[in-house]
Structure formats: C-alpha cells, structure tokens
C-alpha cells in the first residue's frame, strides 16, 4: 500500500525514469508513504491501471513526455473512470507550458509546470492533510541545485544490472536554439562537483558501468568536463561506457587530451549539428561555428576512439530538400559513426512556434507532432525523407553494411541514398518488417540493376557484410537465386514485346 505513487511509461525497459527518482528523493518525510512504479508504452493501459490501483493510492503522479502522452492519456482516462477520487498529478515537459496543453490535462486534478521536486512534495503534503489548493496549474518552485537531494541512491540493483543509468552534472543550457525546450533556460547551472562525483562513485562501487549524461552542454565548462573524464579514467574498465551530449564547436586542447586517453567502446559523443545553413541558424537563434564544428568532428574521428553520433534535422523553417542534402553530404564527408536524421517535431512551449504562420509549419496533431509540410517542403517530400531516415537507420546506422555503404554513397551521398530509398520503397511498399536476408537481396538488385554497379564489385562488398552479419543462410545461393529471377524477368519483358 502507498499513499503516493510516482509513475510514468518509459519508451523501453532499458530507460529508467530519472525525473521520478528526483521527485522521490526530495519527498522528505513523505517518502515512507510513497512508491515508485515504472511501466513501458508497450504495456496495456488497462493492465497499468490495475497495477497502480492495487496499491490503493490517494495520489498518482505521472511524468508526461512527447513519447508517452498518448498512452498516459489512455491510462489516466481509465483511472478516472475506475477510481474518480484518486488524485492525478501531472508533470513533465509535455504539460509544462500553459496554455499549450494536451487533452490529458483536462482529466487531471493538478499539473505542475517545470522542475517539480519541491512543488510536488508540498502539493502532496497539502492533499494528504485535506488542504487542497484551489489552483489546478501550479508553477514549479525553483531552488538552488545544492538544495536538492540527489536521486542516485534510488537506482536499484536491478537498474544497475540491466538499465541505462542517467546522471546530470548540470541543468539548463545557455544557448537559444528555438527548436529545443532548453532554449527557455536562462543559463546552465552546475551541481556541486564534489558532491556529484561522490554520488557517482557510490554508483560505480555498486556495479554501474553504463552512464548517460543528460547535460545539454557537457563541454560548456571545460574544467568540469575534464574533471569528470579524469574521474572515470581512474576507474576505467572494459565494460565502462559513457555517453555525453557536446557542443560541436567547443573542443579546446585540454579537453582533447582527456578524450584521447579513452579506449575504444568506452566513450560516445552525441553532437547536434542540425543544419550547416548559416541563414537557418540565424533564423532559429542557433549559434554554431560551422568551420570549428567540422574541424572538431574530423579530429574526434581521426585522433580519438570516441563513437560519434551526429544529428541533423529536416523541416526547419526555410529549409528545402536541396539545402538539407548539402548539410547531409557535408556531414557524411566527416564520417561520423552514426547520423541520426530527425524530422522536426513541435515541442509545446518551444520558441520555434513563432515561425508557424510565416513558414506555414504544419504539424501532425497527434504525438510526436512531427512536421507534415512547410512553405518550402510539401507533404510528399517529407514522407520521402521519413522513409530515407528509416532506411538510413537500417543500412547505415545499423553498422551491418560497412563495406557496401561507401559503394552506395560514392560521388553524391544524398542523391545516391535517396535513389536507393525510393527504389526500396517502390519494391517493398514498406519501411518495416524487411528481413535482413531480404534486405541483402534488395540491395544486390538495386545496386546492379538500377545504379548500374558491377555485379562482381557489389557481390564482393555484400558478401563481406553478409558474413559479418551473422545471417545463417548461404550468400552465394541467395545471389544465384536473384540472378535467376532477374534473368527470367528480363526474358519475360522481351517476350512481351
């Protein structure tokens, strides 16, 4: 039994709800009356409601995000039908920007906008004492970070064994990129470094080896970044894995010295390029030195063993397919390990919404609110790039086609892969449920028949990737069968003429 339940629906089991642990850590005397319970968006809302109500809670607090708002809405609707007296409190970025609220807010009893560690505790105390506040929308009470209890003790042993451990050395962001909610922050604020590292040391002693830093700008203050990297270098092991989001144009020599010390498979950098177009960067208030960013990416790729995950966004105001292609080709030439092709999404409260009318930004009304068309990009082009991004994940980001990919991208990376993407969709009519074996066959056919590459070269590259993929079937038999099908098709076409 618990008077207070803290819950959310994670995208996958491997993701642990960091925000819930912060709320729980700061409940004070109420912590003994509370429980944390997580689910995933794959679970049925009816089953989630049953599990929650089994504890007979007086209050249920939900973390609401762009990836779970639909499922949370269904669950809250059920809860209010089954147990209308149970008080529902919502928090999280999806409900923090009045009056731009999703429909689920109408079903809830209270909404806390912003970081809720202190406000949630005070609200629960009032509600349990029978002193309900009159206002439904509650602005979060902001406190200095050193006044917060850190949440790291509330990762369970099960979490440490099987889940991503989220940590943060700072909150906020000084930059104003309008597509990001962090642009609403006034600045980035650090946690007290010694206290933070002591908590991380305890996690490490308990066996944590997989740390994902959620700081928006890990390398903003280089002395702190170096101190954290050196902390982990002193504890280096074969299974240590660190993930950081870094500003692409800020990589001074002192930071490079620390990065260079890390072995392969231990360090991943998420680098948001988003666009190389200076005019769009100005339009969306993004400050980025493109030359420095390219130089730093090149250095990381050639002089360090860090894994580089770089991001591009399609659909920004003023963007076009041709313009996006230039950014894509420039990024491909820098050879990051992974390029995440994101489609612009409408985040509630994000300043980019000021461009909606002028640039005719039309978004999906359903989460995740992806862009459907703009003044410069029609719906069909956006659908084409959506498929391009999906096939890019299957072929490039999967790492399964390391030998074949350079063959595909030669001369003009974007144009060639767009041709491949269109051909894949024309043949399959889907971007999902394509088996690996089928994908190899499709690539062989398109590369030899449509892109006019030599069969011997294509077979050589695909064979090397096939053998590395773990696929159990016989590659040569697969290719022979495709050649036979192709010859039969050609013969039938000639006969038809």
pLDDT tens readout for residues 254-274: 999 999 999 999 999 999 999
Q: What is the pLDDT of residues 24-75, one digit of tens each?
A: 999 999 999 999 999 999 999 999 999 999 999 999 999 999 999 999 999 9
Domain made up of 155-377: CATH architecture: Alpha-Beta Horseshoe (3.80)
pTM here?
A: 0.92
Q: What is the pLDDT of residues 438-455, one digit of tens each?
A: 999 999 999 999 999 999
Q: What is the CATH number of domain 4-143?
A: 3.40.50.2300
H or E element in which residue 237 lies: none
Specify the DSSP class assigned to residue 349. T
Rounded CA-CA distance 114/182 in Å is 12
Percentage of residues in the chain having pLDDT higher than 90: 91
- Tell me: cis bond preceding 128? Omega within 30 of 0 counts: no
Rounded CA-CA distance 343/345 in Å is 6
Find, among 204, 134, 216, 214, the residue nearest to 177 by Cα: 216
3-state SS, residue 239: coil
Rounded CA-CA distance 82/76 in Å is 10
Q: What is the mean pLDDT of the chain?
A: 95
Find, among 369, 373, 315, the residue nearest to 345 by Cα: 369
The pLDDT score that the predictor gives to residue 491 is: 47
Rounded CA-CA distance 414/80 in Å is 50
Percentage of residues in the chain having pLDDT higher than 70: 98
The token duo for 256 is: 């490079």
Alpha helices in 133-265 (DSSP H): 157-162, 193-205, 222-233, 253-260
Q: Is the pLDDT of residue 149 over 90?
A: yes
Q: Is the pLDDT of residue 496 over 70?
A: no
Strand-pair partners of 90: 62, 111
Taking the alpha carbons at both ends of the chain, their separation in whole angstroms is 77
Burial of 154 (0-12, 13-18, 19+ CB in 10 A): middle
Rounded CA-CA distance 259/267 in Å is 8
**Which residue shows structure tokens 């894994």?**
307
CB contact at 8 A, 179 and 348: no
Question: Hey, where are the domains in the chain?
Answer: 4-143, 155-377, 402-497
Give the number of other Cβ atoms within 10 Å of residue 79's Cβ.
Answer: 22
Rounded CA-CA distance 318/376 in Å is 7
Q: What is the pLDDT of residues 352-367, one digit of tens each?
A: 999 999 999 999 999 9
Find, among 16, 84, 74, the residue nearest to 45 by Cα: 74
Alpha helices in 307-398 (DSSP H): 321-333, 379-392
- Tell me: cis bond preceding 99? Omega within 30 of 0 counts: yes
How would you classify residue 360: left for phi > 0, otherwise alpha for psi between -120 and 50, otherwise beta? left
């Amino acid at each position: 039994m618990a008077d207070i339940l803290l819950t959310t629906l994670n995208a996958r089991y491997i993701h642990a709800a960091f925000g819930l642990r912060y709320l729980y850590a700061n409940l004070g005397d109420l912590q003994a009356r509370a429980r944390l319970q997580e689910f995933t968006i794959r679970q049925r809302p009816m089953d989630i409601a049953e599990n929650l109500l089994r504890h007979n809670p007086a209050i249920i607090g939900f973390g609401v995000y762009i990836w779970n708002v639909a499922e949370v809405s269904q669950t809250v609707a059920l809860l209010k039908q089954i147990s209308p007296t149970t008080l529902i409190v919502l928090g999280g970025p999806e409900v923090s920007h009045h009056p731009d609220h999703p429909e689920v807010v109408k079903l809830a009893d209270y909404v806390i906008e912003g970081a809720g560690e202190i406000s949630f505790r005070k609200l629960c105390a009032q509600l349990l004492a029978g002193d309900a506040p009159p206002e439904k929308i509650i602005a979060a009470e902001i406190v200095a970070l050193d006044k917060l209890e850190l949440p790291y003790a509330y990762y369970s042993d099960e979490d440490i064994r099987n889940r991503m451990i989220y940590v943060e050395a700072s909150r906020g962001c000084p930059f104003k990129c309008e597509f990001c909610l962090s642009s609403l922050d006034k600045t980035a604020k650090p946690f007290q470094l010694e206290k933070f590292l002591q908590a991380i040391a305890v996690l490490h002693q308990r066996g944590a080896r997989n740390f994902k830093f959620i700081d928006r700008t890990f390398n903003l203050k280089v002395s702190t970044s170096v101190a954290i990297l050196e902390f982990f270098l002193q504890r280096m092991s074969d299974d240590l894995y660190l993930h950081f989001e870094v500003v692409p144009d800020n990589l001074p020599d002192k930071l490079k010295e620390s990065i260079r010390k890390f072995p392969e498979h231990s360090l991943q950098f998420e680098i948001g390029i988003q666009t190389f177009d200076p005019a769009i960067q100005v339009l969306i208030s993004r400050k980025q030195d493109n030359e420095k960013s390219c130089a730093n990416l090149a250095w990381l790729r050639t002089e360090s063993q860090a894994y580089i995950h770089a991001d591009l966004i399609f659909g920004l105001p003023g963007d076009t397919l041709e313009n996006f292609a230039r950014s894509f080709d420039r990024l491909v030439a820098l050879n990051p390990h992974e390029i995440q092709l994101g489609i612009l999404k409408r985040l509630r409260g994000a300043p980019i919404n000021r461009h909606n009318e002028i640039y005719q930004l039309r978004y999906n009304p359903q989460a995740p609110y992806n862009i459907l068309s703009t003044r410069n990009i029609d719906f069909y082009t956006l659908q084409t790039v959506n498929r391009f991004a999906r096939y890019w994940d299957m072929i490039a980001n999967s790492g399964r086609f390391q030998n074949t990919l350079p063959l595909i991208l030669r001369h003009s990376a974007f144009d060639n892969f767009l041709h491949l993407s269109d051909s894949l969709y024309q043949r399959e009519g889907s971007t999902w449920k394509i088996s690996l074996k089928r994908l190899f066959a499709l690539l062989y056919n398109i590369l030899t028949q449509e892109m006019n590459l030599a069969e011997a070269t294509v077979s050589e590259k695909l064979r090397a990737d096939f053998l590395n993929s773990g696929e159990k079937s016989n590659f040569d038999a697969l290719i022979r069968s495709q050649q036979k099908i192709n010859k039969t098709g050609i013969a039938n076409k000639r006969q038809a003429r």
